[in-house]
Structure 1
Amino acid sequence: MKYYIYLIISLLIPFTSLAQFIQGQVQDEKGEGIPFVTVFIKGTTKGTQSNEQGFFSLPLEGIQGEEISISALGFAKKDFPVSEKTQTQVFVLSHDNQIFEEVVVSGTLNPVSRLDSPVPVEIYTPQFFARNPTSNVFSALQNVNGVRPQVNCNVCNTGDIHVNGLEGPYTMVLLDGMPIVSGLSTVYGLSGIPNSMIERMEIVKGPASSLYGSEAVGGLINIITKTPEKAPKISFNANGNTWGEFNIDIGQKAQIGKMAKVLTGINYFNYSFPKDLNGDHFTDLTLQKRISVFQKWTIGKSKIPPLSLAARFFYEDRWGGEMNWNKSFRGTDSVYGESIYTTRWELLGQYILTHNRDLQLSFSLNRHIQNSFYGQVPFHAKQDIGFGQLLWNKHLGSHQLLGGLAMRYTHYDDDTPATASPNDLNVNKPSITPLPGIFIQDELKINPKFTGLFGYRFDIHPIHGGIHTPRIALKYSPKQGQTIRLNAGTGFRVVNIFTEDHAALTGARKVVIEETLKPEKSMNVNLNYMTKIALNGESFLGLDLSAFYTYFTNRISPDYSTDVQEIIYRNLNGHALSQGISGNLDYKHASGIYLNAGFTLLDNTMTQNGEKIRPLLSEHFQSTWGLGFPIRRVHAKVDYTGNLYSPMKLPLLGDLDPRPEYSPWWSIQNIQITYGQSSKNWEIYFGVKNLLNYTPPKNSIARPFDPFDKQVEYDTHGDILATENNPYALSFDPSNVFAPNQRRRLFFGLRMQLD
C-alpha cells in the first residue's frame, strides 16, 4: 500500500512544481492573524478567503492580474503585487476607524462624525436599500426601524411616511438639505424619488424645527444625492417582477471642460397590468407610468470653492379603480376611477462664498402641478416653493458657532375650499405664505468627553405671527465608540388639510372645518445611547437605544366618527402624546454575515375634553430586521428582510360597519439572492417579495359595487339609511387601508457599473 502512495506522490510532484500559486497569512499591526479575509486577483473573478488564523492559498495558473486585493471588516483595504513564491508570505492590514467616523450633517448642519454629533442621526446607504430593491424612496423605507410607509388609499395608493407613529405631515423630507419635498409632494411626489439618486439617507427622529422650521415636528429625512465626484462613470440597474412592474435606472457622469463635472440620472417605472385578486372588482395595485430625469453639476477648480447645481424633472400618470375603467371615463360617474397626473420640476444649488468655507449660500425652487379626478370629483392644484438660506459657520476655541438667515415662500392654489375666500366660497384665494426665519446655534466642547449644543430659531408667519423654537442637546462620551445623548426642543407646524389627508378628496364624505386652525406646537425630550464595539477584529457590534416623549398642543386630527358622512377638522381641545422606546442592533462579521434588527414600542394618544383616544393607523409595536450571509463558492449572497406591525385602529363608517375596528398583526417579508462579483462590477439578483403572501381583508373598500353611492338612501337629516341593499348603512369608502394589497411575487434584476 505504501508503494502505491509513494508512486502517486512521485507522479504528482512534477505537476505541483509547475503550478503557480501564492500563499500567506494576513496579519494586523500587532502581528496577529486576521480571520475570514477576502483575497482577490484584481481584474479577475479569482479569489479566496482566509481561515480563522488568517492563512490562505490562491492558485495563479492562467491569471493575468498583477496585484491581489485584500480586504477585511474593520481594516483598510490594500493591494499587493503578485508574487509566485510558494513559501508563506505575510500581508499586513491597518485598522480602519471609518466605522466609527461616519459623517452626518442633518443633526447640526455641520459635517461631523456620527458619534461626535450631539444629535442622534441614523445613516442608511444604497447597500442597505439594495437588500430589498424597490423603485423609489417611499417603498425603500419599509425596512427602517421606527419608520413606516403608510398607504392612505386603497384605490390610488398614495401615501405618507410615519416616523415613531406620527403621520407623514409631521416629518420633513429634505433633498440635499433643501425643504422642497413638502405639501403636495409629500402625498404625490415621494414615489418619484428614485433610489439610484441616493448617496445616503440621514434620519433624525424628534423635532428639528430650531434648524429647519415648520414641518420638522416628528423628525426629518434628508435624502443626500450622489455627486459627480463619487458616482461611477456609468451605472445601470433594471428589475422587474411577476406582477408586471418594470423599473430601470441609468446614470452617467462626464467631465465638461476643465472646471465642470456633471452627473445625469434617468429613472423609468411602468406598471400596466390591472389585477383584481381579492375579487372586489377594483385594481389591487395602482397602474403607473413614471419618469424622472436628474442632473447634478459641480463647477469650480480645486483651489476655488465649487458651485453645486442640481435639477430634476418628474412626471407620473397613475390610476386605480374599477377593472373596466379607461381614460374615457375620467371625471364621469359611469365607471369609477382615480386618475392622477403629476408634473414636477426642481432646481437647487449650494455655493461656498468664502475661501475659508465659513459662509455658504443655499437655494431651491420647485413647482408641483396636480391634475386629478377622484371619481367625478376634480382636484387641480399648483404649488410653488422658493427657498434661500445663508449659513455662517465659525470655529472659535471650544465653540462651533452656526448662524443662518432663511426665507421660504410658498404659493399654493387648488379648486377646493382650502383656497376659497372665507367670505365667498365661489371666489378663489390662493394661499401665499412668506416665512422668514433666523437661527443661531452654539456647539460647545466642554471637555473631550462632554459636549453641549444650544440652538434657537425665530420665524415670522404672516397669520400666526412670531414662532419661537429653542433646543438643547447634551452629549457624553465615557469612552471610544460610546455616546449618551439628551436632546430637548420644541417644534411647530402649520397645517394644509388637502395636501395632508387624502381621505378629504376620496369617497363621499364632506369636509368640515369648524374653526380657524391654529399651528400645532410640540415639546420633545429624547434620550439616546449608542455604542460600536470591535469584537476581536472579526466582527463589529452596534447598539442604539432611545426613549422619546413628545407633548402636542393644538393638535389637528381628522374626526371620522362624529358624523360618518363628514371629516371634521378642528384643533384638539386638550393635548396629544407620542412616547416610546426603540432599539437597533447591527452586527457584522468579517465573513460577510450581518444582522440588523430593530424594535419600537409606541404609545400615541390624544386627550379630547378629558377623554383619551388612540389615533387612527398608529401601531403600538413595530419591528424590522435584515439578515444576510455570503455563499462564496458560487459568488453569491442571501438577504432576508422583513417587518412586523401590531394592530392599528382603522377608520369605520359607523356602528353598523361590519369591518374590524383594528387591523391584525401583519408582516411583509422578502428574500433575495445576489450573484456576481464586485471586481467585475455586475450583479444579478432575484428573489421573492411578500413571502407570507399577506394582504388586507377583501372588504377593505366599503361598497365597491356602488362607488358613486347611487343606491344609497338617506333620511330627512341626511343620514344613511340601513336598507335591504345596504344593511350596514355604508357609503363608498376606500380609506380603510393599513397594508399593501400586493401579493407574493418573484422579482429579478441586473446591476452594472463602470468606474
Structure 2
Amino acid sequence: MKFRIYITILALSIIGFQHLMGQGSKISGFISSEEGPARFVNISNLNSSFSTMTDTAGYYKLSNIPEGTYDLQITGVGFETLTKKVVVAKDASSILNFLLTKGNNTLNDVVVTGTLKAVRRTDSPVNVEVYTPSFFKKNPTPNIYEALQNVNGVRPQLNCNVCNTGDIHINGLEGPYTMVLLDGMPIVSALSTVYGLSGIPNALVERIEVVKGPASSLYGSEAVGGLINIITKDPNKAPMLSTDIFFTTSKEYNADVSFKVNAADKASILTGINYFNFQNIIDKNHDNFTDMTLQNRISLFQKWDIKRKNNRQFSLAGRYMYEDRWGGDLRYDSSFRGGDSIYGESIYTNRWELLGNYELPFTEKMMLSFSYNEHEQDSRYGKTSYIASQKIGFTQLTWDKNAGNHDLLFGIALRYTYYDDNTPTTQNADMLKNKNAPHITWLPGIFAQDEIALSKKHKILLGIRYDYNSYHGNILTPRFAYKWTIDPENMIRLNAGTGYRVVNLFTEDHAALTGAREVIVANELNPERSYNINLNYIRKFFIKDGTYLAFDLSTFYTYFNNRIVADLEQDPNKIIYDNLQGYALSKGINLNMDISFPFGLQIIAGGTWMENTLNQNGVRTQQLLTEKFTGTWAVSYTYPKSNISIDYTGNVYSPMRLPLLSSTDPRSPSSPWWSIQNIQLTYTGLKKVEFYFGIKNLLNWTPNKGNPFIIARAHDPFDKKVKYDANGQILATSENPYALSFDPTYIYGPNQGIRGFFGVRFRIIK
C-alpha cells in the first residue's frame, strides 16, 4: 500500500511541476575537443551568476535564463578559455555546441591518485575512475560510506546487525584491503576504517577517485585491493554558500552546510558542517532488537588555501567528528551501558585530523605533505568493554622532475602509528606492571617512479618502493604499467605489481570486538603479500546525432600469500585467526558503460563478475560474504521544456556464503539475489534553489525475508540459558533446539526497508 502511495505522489508531482512552474529560456548543447567530449567543463556567464558544468559525456544545460545578451565563458582543464556572446530570446530553447582547443590553464580538476602526480585522466597510465558530486546526487546519502553503493565493484559491507558498523569492499576483498585517503593522506585507516568512514560528509567532496588493484608501491600497507581517494573542494573555486538538507520518512535528518570566506588577498577559507540525527526505534523483523542503530553525529571541516609567490601551493585542512551510536534491545538506554541485564552496543567516537601540503620555494617542484589524526573510542558491546586510542602521523616529501621523455617522481615517507586498547593485544607481558604496552609502529619508506613516453601512443611506468616496518622488517613492492593510446577513442592499459598488508586485527575486524565470541590467534601473524595484474580497455563512440557511448572493460587477477583468515565456522564460540596454509585468489571482469543521448537520457551502468577463493590443503572454498556478481546503474532523464529530472538508481548482488554457527543453524547458508533500488525527482526551476524527493529501497527488500531470524538468540544475548557439554560445546535443549549462542555476524545487507525522502539545496556562487 505504501509503495502505491509513493508512486502516485511522484506521478502527480511530475504533472504538477510541469504545469505550475514557469518554463524560461534554455541553452543546451555538447562541448568537445579533438579528443572527444569535454567532461566537467565549466560554463558560466560573465554578466550574472548562473553557471553549470558538462556531464561525463560533454553535455550541458542552462535553464530559466532571462531574455538578454550574455557572454558565456567555457573553461576546462587543459583547454584554452573560450568566450562567446549569446543572445537569448524570451522563452526560447537554443542548442549551442562548442569545440575547445588545447591550452595550459591551471584548473586542478585532474586525477592524482594513480601516479601521485596531477595529470589528465586520459594521460594517466593507471586507470583511475572519477566520481563527482553530481553522480552521488542521483541518490542522496548522509555520508560517503553509503554513497559508494552505486559505484561498480565497490560495496559498503555491514559487519554487525546491532551497531551497523562496516567497511568498503573493492572487487570482493574485505575492507582492510582497501585504503581510504583524504586529499591523498592515509588518515582514514585501521580503527577509523571501521568506525570513522560514516563521519565523512558529502559537503566537502570535490570528487572521489577509485583505483582497483594494488597500489602499495606508492601508498604502502593497506593499498592491496585498491584505494579510494576523497578529494575535498578547493576553497578558491567553492561556492560562497552551499546547503543540502534532507530527511526521510524513517525520521533520518541530515544537513550539509559549507561557506567560503576570502581573507583579503592572503587566503581563501572553506568551512563545512555536517549534522546527522536518527533517533527512531524501528523493529520490523520483530526480534525486539533495533533494525538500525540510532545515531547522533556532527562533523566540522575547515580548509585554508594560502596564497604565495609564483602560485606555489600551501593548504591546510582540519576536521573534527563526534558520534554517539547505539543499537540493541528496544528497552535499552544509557543506564544499561556495559551491564548484563539489557543488551546494547554503544559506541562513542571522537576524532580529529590535520593535513596539509606545502610546495617548497625551490625552482624544482618539491612538495611536502603531512597529516596527523587522533581517534578515541569508548565502546560497550553488551558487558564487553572496548576502549581504544589511535594516533597516526604521516609526512612525505616528493620531487617531481621532467627530463626529456622521462617524467620522474621520487619520494620519502614516514608513518607513525600508536595504538592502545584494553584488550590482550596491548597487555604488558609483565602482569605485575599495572599498565599497557601500546603498539608503536614506525614505517619509513622511499619510492621512485619513472613514467616514460616511448612515443605519442606508447607510455610505460616503472615504480618501486622500499619500506621498513619496525615489527616485520624489510618490504619491497615493485610496479609496472603500460598505456597504448591506439587513437583518441581506443585505449589499452596494463598494470602489474605487488602489495602487502600488516595486520592489527582488533582494529580491523569488528567481529573480534562484539564480545559474542572468544578471539583465538593460532600463530604469530605474518604480513600478507599479493601479486596482481589487470588489463583495461576503453572504447568511445561518437554518433552523428549527438549520442555518446563509452565502455570501460577490465580484467583483474590477484594471488595472495600468507592470507589472514578469520575462521567463524570451526567453533560458534570462537574466532580463530591464522595465516592461510595455502593461497588465496581474487579474479574477475569489470565492465562500466556510459551512454548519453541528445534528448536528455543518460545511462551509467556496470557489472562485475568475480571469484574470491581460499585454497588450502587441496580444498577450494568461496570467501565468506563475497558475491560472485554485482551490478549497478543510474538512469537519468531530463524532461524536455521543463526543469524536472528523474534519476533511477540501483544495485544487484548475487548470492554470497554466510557465516552459520553450526550444521544445525536453521538460517540459509547463502544469501539470495538481492537488490536496492531508488527513484528521485529533482526540480531546478528556481534560481539558486533546487528541490528533490523520491523513494529509497523501492522493492522494500530486507535480509530477514526467508529466514526464521537474523540475530541468533536475540532473546538471550548474554547466553545465560545456553548449556555446554564437558568439551565446551553447546548442547541442544528444548529452550535452544538448534544449539546456538548469541551472534550478530549474520549480515550482508541493510535492514532498512522502503522509505520516502525530501530535500532542498541552496547555492550562492559569488
Fold similarity call, TM over 0.5: yes
Q: Which residue of 1 aligns with 2:70?
A: 67
Q: Tell whether the 8 Å contact from 1:236 to 1:249 is kept in structure 2 after alignment.
A: yes
Deviation at 1:72, TM superposition (A): 14
Moved more, 517-526 or 589-598: 589-598
Q: Which of 644, 664, 669 pairs up with 1:636?
A: 644
- Code of the aligned partner of 2:717: P
Instruction: Confirm or deny: 8 A CA contact 1:240 1:247 kept in the other structure.
Output: yes
Query: Residues 25, 392 of structure 1: CA spacing in aligned structure 2 closer, same or farther, 3 A cutoff?
Result: closer
Q: Which residue of 2 aligns with 1:518?
A: 526
Which of 540, 546, 566 aligns to 1:538? It is 546
Moved more, 64-73 or 384-393: 64-73
CA contact (8 A) 2:68 2:89 kept: no
Distance 2:187 2:49 in 1: 44
The question of whether the paired residues in 1 share the 8 Å contact of 2:172 and 2:610 is answered with: yes
Counterparts of 2:296 and 2:92 in 1: how far apart (Å)? Answer: 61
* Distance of 1:213 and 1:80 partners within structure 2: 51
Q: Distance in 2 between matches of 1:237 and 1:88?
A: 29
Could you tell me how far 1:480 is from its partner in structure 2?
1.2
The corresponding residue for 2:419 is 412
- Is the contact made by 2:308 and 2:314 (CA closer than 8 Å) also made in structure 1? no
* Structure 1 contact 300–307 (Cα < 8 Å) conserved: yes
1:304–1:116 distance in 2 versus 1, CA, 3 Å = closer
| Cα distance in structure 1, aligned partners of 2:664 and 2:344 | 27
* Residue 80 (structure 1) aligns with: 85
Residues 230-266 of structure 1: CA distance to partner in whole angstroms, max 9, x if unpaired?
Answer: 1101001100000000000110001113211100000
Q: Which residue of 2 aligns with 1:169?
A: 176
Alignment gaps of 5+ in structure 2? 1-23, 53-58
**CA deviation after TM superposition for structure 1 residue 307, in Å:** 1.1
Tell me the alpha carbon deviations over residues 55-93 of structure 1, each in whole angstroms, 9 at most, x when there is no partner. x9x999xx5644286999999986535377999999773
Matched, 1:448 2:453: no
Q: Which runs of 5 or more structure 1 residues have no equivalent in the other structure? A: 1-20, 48-53
Candidates 518, 521, 536, aligned match of 1:528:
536
Partner of 2:601: 593
Query: Secondary structure, in 3 states, of the residue corresponding to 2:565?
Result: coil
- Cα offset, 1:634, TM superposition: 3.3
Contact 2:364-2:401 within 8 A present in 1 as well:
no
Decide whether aligned partners of structure 1 residues 152 and 27 sit closer, same or farther in structure 2, where only a CA change above 3 A counts: closer
The 5 A counterparts of 1:596-607 are 596-607=604-615
Report what 2:233 is aligned to: 226
Would you say the 8 A contact 1:217–1:492 is kept in 2?
Answer: yes
Deviations 1:441-487 (CA, angstroms, capped at 9, x unpaired) = 00000011100100000000112110000010111111113210111
Structure 1, residues 734-753: CA drift from partner, whole Å, max 9, x if none? 10000000000000100111
Supply the AA of the counterpart residue of 2:637.
F
The match for 2:348 is: 341
Distance 1:222 1:25 in 2: 32
Quick check: 1:657 aligned with 2:665?
yes
Amino acid at match of 1:82: V
State the partner residue of 1:3.
none
Measure the CA separation in 1 of the matches of 2:722 and 2:589. Answer: 46
User: Deviations for 1:205-237, whole angstroms, at most 9, x for unmatched residues?
Assistant: 000000000000000000000011111010011
The 10-residue stretch of structure 1 (109-118 or 260-269) with the greater mean CA deviation from structure 2 = 109-118
Residue 585 of structure 2 is aligned to residue 582 of structure 1: no
Question: For the Cα contact (< 8 Å) 1:507–1:734, is it kept in 2?
Answer: no
CA contact (8 A) 1:305 1:357 kept: no
Q: CA deviation at 1:290?
A: 0.4
Report SS of the residue matched to 2:346.
strand
Larger Rg, first or second structure (1 or 2): 1
Give the root-mean-square deviation of aligned CA atoms.
3.2
**Partner SS, residue 123 of structure 2:** coil
Q: Percent identity?
A: 54
Among 355, 379, 390, the alignment partner of 1:383 is 390
Rounded Cα–Cα distance in structure 1 between residues aligned with 2:31 and 2:564: 58
Structure 1 length as normaliser, TM-score?
0.90
Q: TM-score, normalised by structure 2?
A: 0.88
Q: Distance in 1 between matches of 2:139 and 2:347?
A: 27
Aligned to 2:367: 360
Q: Distance in 2 between matches of 1:264 and 1:536?
A: 45
CA gap of 1:216–1:72, structure 2 versus 1, over 3 A, is closer
In the TM superposition, what are the counterparts of 1:649-688 in structure 2 within 5 Å?
649-677=657-685, 680-688=687-695
Alignment counterpart, residue 654 of structure 2, candidates 625, 629, 646: 646
Query: How far apart are the structure 1 equivalents of 2:242 and 2:531?
Result: 45
Q: Is the 8 Å Cα contact of residues 73 and 539 (structure 1) preserved in structure 2?
A: no
Partner residue of 1:730?
740
Q: 1:120 aligns with which of 124, 127, 141?
A: 127
| 1:94 has 2:83 as partner | no
Name the CA shift for 1:458/1:88 in 2 (closer, same or farther; >3 Å): closer
Which whole-Å CA distance do the structure 2 matches of 1:221 and 1:89 have between them? Answer: 39
SS of equivalent to 1:169: helix
* Residue identity matched to 1:474: Y
Query: How far apart are the structure 1 equivalents of 2:210 and 2:51?
Result: 39
- Once the 2 structures are TM-superposed, how far is the Cα of residue 505 of structure 1 from its aligned partner? 1.3
What amino acid maps onto 2:749 in structure 1? A
- 1:602 offset after TM fit, Å? 0.6
How far apart are the structure 2 equivalents of 1:498 and 1:123? 32
Q: Does 1:716 align with 2:726?
A: yes
Quickly say closer, same or farther: Cα 1:97–1:326, change in 2 above 3 A.
farther
Q: Distance in 2 between matches of 1:162 and 1:645?
A: 13
Describe how 1:90-489 pairs up with structure 2 within 5 A.
93-95=98-100, 103-301=110-308, 303-356=310-363, 358-421=365-428, 424=431, 428-489=436-497
Return the offset for 1:303: 2.4
1:68-123 deviation per Cα after TM superposition (whole angstroms, max 9, x unaligned): 8699999998653537799999977335789xx97211000111121211111100
8 Å CA contact 1:73, 1:589 repeated in 2: no
| Paired residues of 1:72 and 1:590 also in contact (CA < 8 A) | no
State the AA in 2 paired with 1:328. Answer: S
